[in-house]
A and B are shown apart, each in its own frame.
Chain A
Amino acid sequence: RKEVEQDPGPFNVPEGATVAFNCTYSNSASQSFFWYRQDCRKEPKLLMSVYSSGNEDGRFTAQLNRASQYISLLIRDSKLSDSATYLCVVKAAGNMLTFGGGTRLMVKP
């Protein structure tokens, strides 16, 4: 079983739609959580950290459920420019980030 699991997609949605991605992690000792965005043939870039209380950044909302070891990302009012791969990332007591395989989003006009 992978340490961080995501549905690879692709999720094909029309502009303006709301889309949600989920992620589960296996290490209950995980301490920090992030969503990264990766465009085709580019490096991953930090989209947002995920806090226990949930957090919002514009059209993006992240939620963490430690009991279920589950992380989510909600994107409202999708834009064409949101098309990318979204990587769920977890950091345990060690020092490296563990990445999920990514969920591909395609927003269509």
Chain B
Amino acid sequence: DTGVSQDPRHKITKRGQNVTFRCDPISEHNRLYWYRQTLGQGPEFLTYFQNEAQLEKSRLLSDRFSAERPKGSFSTLEIQRTEQGDSAMYLCASSYTRGSEPQTTMGYTFGSGTRLTVV
């Protein structure tokens, strides 16, 4: 296990279809994050998990988006009824955190992302 893996790397789908992405974090990492990035912008936070618990969701995450991390290991992000505005790079990241993490200076490790194109 050398890093964060995401699958697929690319996905082209027709508007209205459902898509699901998978992320496998670094095995000892207990936190997993999903971000979305559009061209020319920085990554925007979507949601994160600590182990299997989804602890925070952005307002960007509409009802069409759902994320799971059922066993505290890999995670899936599903988008239902895709729209053209959903076209973006979906990035997964993971980190290891102890306790309340008040003074961490560690960043995250990102996967290579899944590039979604909705046509």
Contact = CB atoms under 8 A, between A and B. Distances in A.
Main secondary structure of the interface of B (DSSP, over half): loop
Given A97-B108, A101-B40, A43 B56 contact: no
B112 A42 contact: yes
B107 A36 contact: yes
Interface string A36-58: 10000111111001010000000
A45 B110 contact: yes
Given A42-B112, A95-B31, A96-B48, A32 B105 contact: yes
Given A51-B105, A96-B48, A87 B42 contact: yes
B45 interface: yes
B31 to A, nearest CB: 7
A44 B43 contact: yes
Sorting the interface of chain B by its residue count into under 10, 10 to 19, 20 to 34 or 35 or more gives 20 to 34
Contacts of A41: 115
Interface in A57-108: 87, 89, 91, 94-102
A31 interface: yes
A75 B102 CA distance: 30
A25 to B, nearest CB: 12
Contacts of A21: none
A14 interface: no
A97 B45 contact: yes
A99 B56 contact: no
B45 A98 contact: yes
B104 A32 contact: yes
Interface in B77-119: 91, 97, 101-113, 115
Given A4-B42, A43-B112, A49-B105, 13 more contacts: A32-B104, A44-B110, A49-B106, A51-B105, A87-B43, A91-B104, A95-B31, A95-B55, A96-B33, A97-B107, A99-B35, A99-B44, A101-B42
9 contacts: A44-B110, A49-B105, A49-B106, A91-B104, A95-B48, A95-B55, A96-B45, A96-B48, A97-B108
